Structure 1
Amino acid sequence: MTTGPTPPRKQIHLAAHFPGVNNTTVWADPRSGSQIDFDSFVHLARTAERGLFDFFFLAEGLRLREHKGRVHDLDVVGRPESITVLNALAAVTDRLGLAATVNATFNEPWELARRLASLDLLSGGRAAWNVVTSSDAFTGENFRRGGFLDRADRYTRAAEFVAAARALWDAAGAGQRSFAWSGDHFAIAGESTPPRSPQGRPVVIQAGDSDEGREFAASAADVIFTRHGTLEAGRAFYRDVKRRLPRHGRREEDLKLMPGVTVVLGDTAADAQERAAEIRRQQISPQNAIHALELVWGRDLSAYDPDGPLPDVDPDPDSALVQGRVRHADPFEAAARWRALSEEKGLSIRQTVIETTSRQSFIGTPSAVAAAMAEFVERDAADGFILVPHLTPGGLDGFVDTVVPLLQERGVFRTRYTGTTLREHLGLTGTGVERSAA
């Protein structure tokens, strides 16, 4: 009996998220370093490049968050602007993609397209833009027009923003000096951006799980940054987003799904589980548990015991108790879900927050983590992962040293970079200028 050649195994894509200012990072750990020193960015980026990752990913902070009218503790030192940091990192890395989160609500197409095209050109075709939106007037107070945008208009503006930026990049790539765009949100006429980079135009990343966000990703994104707690939830999301692509004239391989995950390694499964539990306890302190609860309930809950039961009062949907952080779209639904979980498992406030706010994590020995990641990708629950370490800047070191070699042995991860641009790393066909803008 003659058998055909064994089909190649589906390849895993990996990226690194610099944790910065959030409740993922364990600041009390003695190994935790600065989140603003350039050396921290360099260490994490070079570790990701040593691990042959596709890209390095920075979040955005447009305003210091507030809690009960005071600056949120985690924001006390602020956050550097992402494109500025990535331009500097372009000089100390060679192949690693450089992804900046930039808000499409509070920026303008020509100016942002020019900044991203400059990063793309200077890095030799390694730039990416993570498109985010906001209807938050609190954040918008930093901007001339006051920042208010109806929630329903966020993605229509973002879609037009991306289309205008792509048209501008394509005009520059075609050697056209002049540029014009007219739509519902923008009317632009001027000169094009810097010359075309080797990858044609920056990769577009989108983060969002609403129906509008999924449709926007299917129409306009090259990568979607998402989060799902189980293999089956990941597979359902994967199927839903991929099935939307044909109506936008796109193929499945045109969009990579990369959930954000944490990884906790141990010498044994029990050791890894123990470490993971301790990390979650450090991330969700008693104070942070009450803060997280107030983000859902929109009420001052400081009188409640973190080790006691959840509040029996309803959320306040119109609360301004927390500013600059995204509340649940339906706080009543979230509160009901938290209560049901708490009652089912007998959980306190802190225990409930720990269980409901954790990302999908891979916990175990390096070989177990490598096997689990390969299964997720093989079974179409993801195309890869964006790793969010709990330590800055050394949180990727163990993964790169132990898990990456095992993925390579399995034949599911590259042993060297075969291209120079981010599009080549991601396996996105062409240069990005052939497909019409969404």
Structure 2
Amino acid sequence: MTRKKQIILGAYLGGVNNQTLWGLPESGSQIEFSSFEHTAKTAERGKFDFFFLAEGLALRERGGKIFDQDIIGRPDTFTVLASLAAVTEHLGLAGTINATFNEPYELARQFASLDHLSGGRAAWNIVTSFDAFTGQNFRRGGFLPRSQRYERAAESLALVRELWDSWAEGEVLADKASGQFVRSGDVGAFEHTGPQFDVRGRFTVPRSPQGQPVILQAGVSEQGRDFAAASSDAIFSPFTHLPEAQAYYTDIRRRAVAAGRQPDDVKLLPGGAFVLGDTDQEAQDKARWVRDQQVSPQSARVLLETVWNVDLSDFDPDGPLPTFEPAVDAPPFIEGRARLESDLQAWAGRLRAVQAEKKLTAREVVVDQFTRTEFVGTPERVAGQLDDFVQGGGSDGFIIGSHLVPTGLDEFVDKVVPLLQERGSLRADYEGSTLRDNLGLPVPERRRVREPASV
């Protein structure tokens, strides 16, 4: 019998925005280590492939003042993941780190160290930024022009991989007499000259247990798709409706082959939220309640302010959408929140079309368009939805999160995971020792590094 395609599962800790119901009494801290530990251990109990940590580099602002809709605080990614390496054994540890504001040598060293500490479980979600607001924390002038962000990211990733490959097998010898390690002459030597970086020296960390940490990316634009298909091991897909997801899946695999790779060398993973109930109706009622909690009147105003780009403090969210056009040329009213659309007028037009078609209030439009609970129903129904999506060519798995931190994932692991295992779509136990093993990814061949004449 042919083995069913195995579902890849990642777990994420809910963000610091309205999607997380941080005001509920049962909600825990998003800063204390116990929350990260609980989520990671729950994911490992459910045989998830990895734990995913997003990144917030600046506190969001609304009209020049700190958001009062967000939880404030985001600990350093590497510190959290290194701590989780000590309390887990098999779970991959994926961190979002910005290539625009970090230097390749430092990135390579940090991820290589994490890979050694965890026994081969590190992953880098590489992102870019052209946001001057965030960039103020990092560099004079704030940011790179949009046209240069992929150029820097591509060269940064290439250089990081050069550094990871700078140590070859057998180049480190143990001196038994002294008990010290002795490096051969060329170990770690590198030299790189390019448009963004000119660096040379010796890398300080040996080649990691999985050859190279896993690379995660997201790419929707033409440039982003080409970059991700050519250089990433897994891609965060934005599509959760099967026809769109199938088209994206096919397109990325085609681009991977065009870049000289095998189609299975790239895994596609959309995000997925869930709501469970003992009956489908109970789950639907609960999902409606969750969405209403996620979009309070104030949250609705803030989300609409990202579209209209003006202060909507006096706007009634239980009435119609604003009739005036967005302030396209004004400075951003909301800082630190990524815009889902670049054409604000077109975005507003689509929201008005939804309002007219479904006869909704402004707040109901926000609930309809800005929230996501893709998988709703009994555990049996949700397990079937996930399995059918993957087996139907929509993705290779999902990044699963919950509206409740840190215990929301428990329900999924206790009720849905056993059903996926019964279907033969999810492992009963870990089969490999590294994240690459468990994801079914090849170990990258070591490429020859350009070495300097002398260091």
TM-score of the aligned structures, taking structure 1 as reference length? 0.96
Amino acid of the residue matched to residue 352 of structure 1?
Answer: V
User: CA separation in 2, counterparts of 1:295 and 1:436?
Assistant: 47
Give the counterpart of 1:271 among 282, 293, 308: 282
**SS of alignment partner, residue 166 of structure 2:** helix
Larger radius of gyration: 2
**SS of alignment partner, residue 323 of structure 2:** coil
Relative distance call for 1:173 and 1:312 in structure 2 (3 A) is farther
| Residue 419 of structure 2: aligned partner | 406
Would you say 1:232 and 2:274 are equivalent positions? no
Question: By how many angstroms is 1:75 displaced?
Answer: 4.3
User: CA separation in 1, counterparts of 2:138 and 2:249?
Assistant: 36
Amino acid of the residue matched to residue 67 of structure 1?
Answer: R
TM-score of the aligned structures, taking structure 2 as reference length? 0.92
Relative distance call for 1:140 and 1:186 in structure 2 (3 A) is same
Relative distance call for 1:74 and 1:126 in structure 2 (3 A) is farther
Question: By how many angstroms is 1:359 displaced?
Answer: 2.9
| Residue 29 of structure 2: aligned partner | 34
User: CA separation in 2, counterparts of 1:357 and 1:424?
Assistant: 36
Question: By how many angstroms is 1:238 displaced?
Answer: 1.0
Give the counterpart of 1:396 among 383, 388, 409: 409
| Residue 422 of structure 1: aligned partner | 435
User: CA separation in 2, counterparts of 1:386 and 1:360?
Assistant: 13
Question: By how many angstroms is 1:199 displaced?
Answer: 0.5
Give the counterpart of 1:67 among 59, 62, 69: 62
Would you say 1:256 and 2:267 are equivalent positions? yes
| Residue 190 of structure 1: aligned partner | 201
Give the counterpart of 2:164 among 157, 164, 169: 169
Query: Structure 2 regions of 5+ residues with no counterpart?
Result: 172-186, 450-455
Give the counterpart of 1:432 among 411, 423, 444: 444
| Residue 100 of structure 2: aligned partner | 105
Question: By how many angstroms is 1:344 displaced?
Answer: 0.5
Give the counterpart of 1:383 among 378, 396, 400: 396
Question: By how many angstroms is 1:28 displaced?
Answer: 2.5
Amino acid of the residue matched to residue 307 of structure 1?
Answer: D
| Residue 149 of structure 2: aligned partner | 154
User: CA separation in 2, counterparts of 1:218 and 1:74?
Assistant: 36
User: CA separation in 2, counterparts of 1:387 and 1:435?
Assistant: 35
Would you say 1:345 and 2:366 are equivalent positions? no
Amino acid of the residue matched to residue 279 of structure 2?
Answer: T
| Residue 180 of structure 2: aligned partner | none
Equivalent residues of 1:117, 1:193 under 8 A apart: no
Relative distance call for 1:436 and 1:12 in structure 2 (3 A) is farther
| Residue 53 of structure 1: aligned partner | 48
Amino acid of the residue matched to residue 84 of structure 2?
Answer: L
Equivalent residues of 2:277, 2:283 under 8 A apart: yes
Equivalent residues of 1:374, 1:412 under 8 A apart: yes
| Residue 298 of structure 1: aligned partner | 309
User: CA separation in 1, counterparts of 2:337 and 2:138?
Assistant: 17
Corresponding residue pairs, total = 431
Write the deviation string for residues 194-231 of structure 1: whole angstroms up to 9, x where unpaired: 11222011100002322222111101110111222411
Equivalent residues of 1:113, 1:168 under 8 A apart: yes
Give the counterpart of 2:338 among 316, 326, 330: 326
**Residues 196-215 of structure 1 aligned to structure 2 (within 5 Å):** 196-215=207-226
User: CA separation in 1, counterparts of 2:447 and 2:400?
Assistant: 29
| Residue 182 of structure 2: aligned partner | none
| Residue 89 of structure 1: aligned partner | 84
User: CA separation in 2, counterparts of 1:331 and 1:364?
Assistant: 35
User: CA separation in 2, counterparts of 1:359 and 1:275?
Assistant: 13
**SS of alignment partner, residue 34 of structure 1:** coil
Question: By how many angstroms is 1:336 displaced?
Answer: 1.1
User: CA separation in 2, counterparts of 1:218 and 1:84?
Assistant: 29
Q: Which runs of 4+ in 1 moved over 4 A?
A: 434-437
Question: By how many angstroms is 1:109 displaced?
Answer: 0.3
User: CA separation in 2, counterparts of 1:294 and 1:187?
Assistant: 42
**Residues 275-294 of structure 1 aligned to structure 2 (within 5 Å):** 275-294=286-305
Question: By how many angstroms is 1:74 displaced?
Answer: 4.3
Query: Structure 1 regions of 5+ residues with no counterpart?
Result: 1-5
**SS of alignment partner, residue 172 of structure 1:** coil
Question: By how many angstroms is 1:98 displaced?
Answer: 0.2
User: CA separation in 2, counterparts of 1:89 and 1:61?
Assistant: 19
**SS of alignment partner, residue 416 of structure 2:** helix
Give RMSD over aligned pairs: 1.5
Equivalent residues of 1:91, 1:123 under 8 A apart: yes
